[in-house]
Amino acid sequence: MSFIMLIILTAACSYQEQNAPGEMPVMIKVQLMVPEQASPGEAVSLQLKLTQGDAPVSDADQVQFQIWNKLNEPPPVSPEEGYMTVEKLEEQGALTAREVEDGIYEVEYTFDEPGSYVVQAHVTQGSMHSMPRKNVEVK
């Protein structure tokens, strides 16, 4: 009888509350904060705000900014590659952001030449990934 009680107690102590079947985790939200215009040779702050629910996320797995001139868009990722790795993004010139406040990540960037640019964030938190983008006109 004591063996059965031991099994019941062990099972009860190791029970962990789990999400109900089909219940989705709270999604991350990425708000890009970049200027609409910039001047060549002038450093600008590129920021994003990362939240999950109403809470800021301070321990993101990956926060990078990829910047390119619209005339030189980087090649898309092939289905065989699956997704763009941190290393692959860095090979294409992506910049790793640092956290400057709770949930606020930033890089400084200087646009060298006039033109129309795309700023795209690559944010990974757990199994979630977000890639918002905005345009910046450099005049």
Give residue-wise pLDDT tens across range 69-100.
999 988 777 677 666 778 888 888 899 999 99
Is the pTM for the entire model greater than 0.85?
A: no
In the chain, which ranges are E strands? 28-33, 37-38, 43-52, 55-56, 62-69, 95-96, 98-101, 104-110, 115-125, 128-130, 133-138
Within the chain, how many helices (H) and strands (E) appear? 2, 11
Q: For residue 127, which of 60, 81, 48 has the smallest C-alpha distance?
A: 60
Give residue-wise pLDDT tens across range 17-51.
344 667 788 999 999 999 999 999 999 999 999 99
What 8-state DSSP symbol labels residue 137? E
What is the number of residues in the chain? 139
